[in-house]
Chain A
Amino acid sequence: MSARVVITGMGVVAPNGTGLTAFEESLRAGQSGIRHVEAMAEANFACTVAGVPQGVDALVDAEFEEDERLVMNGSHRYASLACLEAWRDAGLERPARDSETVDWDTGAIVGTGIGGMDTTAEKVIPLTNAGKVRRIGSTSVEQVMASGVSARVSGQFALGNQVTTNSSACSTGTEAIAMGVERIRRGAAVRMLCGGSEAATHYIWAGFDAMRVLNRRSNDAPEKASRPMSGSAGGFVPGAGAGILMIESEESALARGARIYAEVAGQGINCGGHRMGGSMTAPNPESVKRCIQAALADAGVEAHEVDAINGHLTATGADPREVGSWSAALGRGPGELPPITSTKSMIGHTLGAAGAIESVASVLMLAGGFVHPSINCEDVHPEIEPYADSIPHNLQEIDGMKVIVKAGFGFGDVNACLVFKRWDG
């Protein structure tokens, strides 16, 4: 069994593009997917913009039968579409629904940060409070159980290996991929659908608005609202969607002649323990540095070999500390730090899906030899100013790009980092 793990398929449902082609076009063009959300305005949110994937209903109607559609909530719909795209992109045939064949070698780790809050808020609570429990019907449990999103996918693809849902706040999507890599490396699975999904519902976003961590200053200019690394960053913009990577043992990919996007060469996962500046809501800089360095060591990649960084970079006050942590982890100061970009500048913060959607973006950049613009930071934050030359305001083509690093950091002081490396055979 080969120890190397490669990416053979991807799927994405993002606010600025549903499907790989549309998503990559938007990334290259610096196209924002942030829009006004009337439900937020009606509920008196301070922030009334969000990243909501478009055109999803028509795709779900086209791809899934009525009984499947009736049982899926928001995160299930996004995850199902992204998994289906990744499955096909990997060159695999969608199993017939009436087939009795189970794919024992393939599993899924599909995470979610919040879970089925739409179902809880729109169905379980109102009907329970109204004394109409029996009218909740049969589908609420499978929608609100944390593992509902991976359970849904397992039936669609007759998965017979490990199927689970991880949850580590905003590092969920990154962590899911890292966990899948571990499983394939030790020979417990051949292929894993890994990533994350998060629904578009203001009920999820309400708590963040109450915390005053959402940007309340750009409601009249939605596409300008997500401003990572800028001096005018006023908090993050919530988002929704799903990202999925089909990761596979190199041996299997080669044996079936699959197209290989890149190698997941290394991964790191840790926690800051809410110490040394870390807390429930802030990352311990030392743990961030250690997580990045652990991923690089796992990949056997030297810090000077990193060609680009896709940061966590949410547009909160944590951005300057994060850039400092990248610099410290790589031992590359101002003028030496590679291009550092934020996919969130275009899609907002998709919470449990963020690390996964942004990993799809990272692999597209590596495969396409480009770094997408990090938009809305014309006014670089004063503390990041020494690194200003590393921020791509426009599309950057990079010949011979070999390594891109993606990290995600979440509430609970948790971190996950992935090193994607060009696969040269």
Chain B
Amino acid sequence: MEQSAVMEGVVKILTPWVKNDEALKGVSMETNILDDLKVNSARLVDVVIAFEDEFDIEIDDEDVDTVNTVGDAVQLISSKLG
């Protein structure tokens, strides 16, 4: 899967939880999910479940801890997709 397609899927899943619409408009690989998009940290577990369902992958709890930016999520998902 193209990285741009993964990015699109990640942003789609994050969108309902985003509290900063301006940051979402300028979203990039460097955008921080908690600090920039202001996603409630408690909802990250729902985001990860949605990633698993959308891309048909499994994400370990340890992997979740490495995700801070949109780019981190895209790279993690891409690595699982092989």
Contact = CB atoms under 8 A, between A and B. Distances in A.
A137 B17 contact: no
Interface in A29-69: 65-67
Contact of B45 (A65, A66, A70, A134): A134
A137 B19 CA distance: 19
Interface in B1-58: 15-17, 19, 42-46, 49
A138 B42 contact: yes
A135 B49 contact: yes
Nearest to B61: A134
Contacts of A134: 45, 49, 61
A67 B61 CA distance: 23
A139 interface: yes
Nearest to B38: A98
Give the interface size class of chain A.
10 to 19
Contacts of B46: 70, 137-139
Contacts of A67: 16-17, 43
Contacts of A98: 19
Interface residues of B, number: 11
A95 to B, nearest CB: 15
A65 B17 CA distance: 10
Given A134-B61, A135-B49, A137-B49, A70 B42 contact: no
A139 B17 CA distance: 13
B16 A70 contact: yes
B54 to A, nearest CB: 14
Nearest to A98: B19
Nearest to A97: B19
Interface string A138-159: 1100000000000000000000
Contacts of B15: 66
B16 A137 contact: no
Interface string A92-117: 00000010000000000000000000
Given A67-B43, A70-B16, A134-B49, 17 more contacts: A65-B16, A66-B15, A66-B16, A67-B16, A67-B17, A70-B46, A98-B19, A134-B45, A134-B61, A135-B49, A137-B45, A137-B46, A137-B49, A138-B42, A138-B43, A138-B44, A138-B45
22 contacts: A65-B16, A66-B15, A66-B16, A67-B16, A67-B17, A67-B43, A70-B16, A70-B46, A98-B19, A134-B45, A134-B49, A134-B61, A135-B49, A137-B45, A137-B46, A137-B49, A138-B42, A138-B43, A138-B44, A138-B45, A138-B46, A139-B46
